[in-house]
Amino acid sequence: MAHETLALAADARERFLLAIADVVPDDRIAEIHLFPPIRQGPIETGVAVIAATPEDPTQARHVVFSARYRWTRKGPDRGRWTHEVVAEADAPLVTVEAVVAGVKARANEAAQPERLEGDAVRTLLADARCRTAA
């Protein structure tokens, strides 16, 4: 089945960031790389690589997480959302760029992932939480 690469819509980005923040505390997020989602039929799938500061501040290596979501956009299961966020490795922050390049190469995707610094992520999360709390 053919797939279509899309720009990450604001609603998907917000929902994905909130899902990531359920697992990785906001104050530990150093950066997030959001890859453009792929739509195959009614299902949209997105992937991200997250670098987080370690829980133990004496550690120099960051925790590298992978995150994925699947969102049914059409059909009888419309609105169904599943996601997972998994700690994959400990690595220096500079190594995260190599991980991102590897994910991009495996996906055989020309589009660049969107890179968000920790402060930008925290601002987006604060805005999203204000909207969902209202």
Q: Give the tens place of pLDDT for each residue, 50-90.
A: 999 998 888 889 999 999 999 998 999 998 999 999 999 99
Task: State the Cα angle at 62 between 107 and 132, rounded to 5°.
Answer: 75
Which pTM was predicted?
Answer: 0.87
In a domain, 73, yes or no: yes
Residue 134's pLDDT band, with cuts at 50, 70 and 90, is low
Tell me whether residue 9 is in a domain: yes
- Which residues form the domain of 11? 4-126
Residue 5 has pLDDT above 80, yes or no: no
| Domain-located, residue 111 | yes
Amino acid residing at 66: S
User: Among 91, 99, 132, which Cα is nearest to 115's?
Assistant: 99
| Within-domain flag for 24 | yes
Mean pLDDT over all residues of the chain?
88
pLDDT score of 97: 85
Total tally of structural domains belonging to the chain: 1
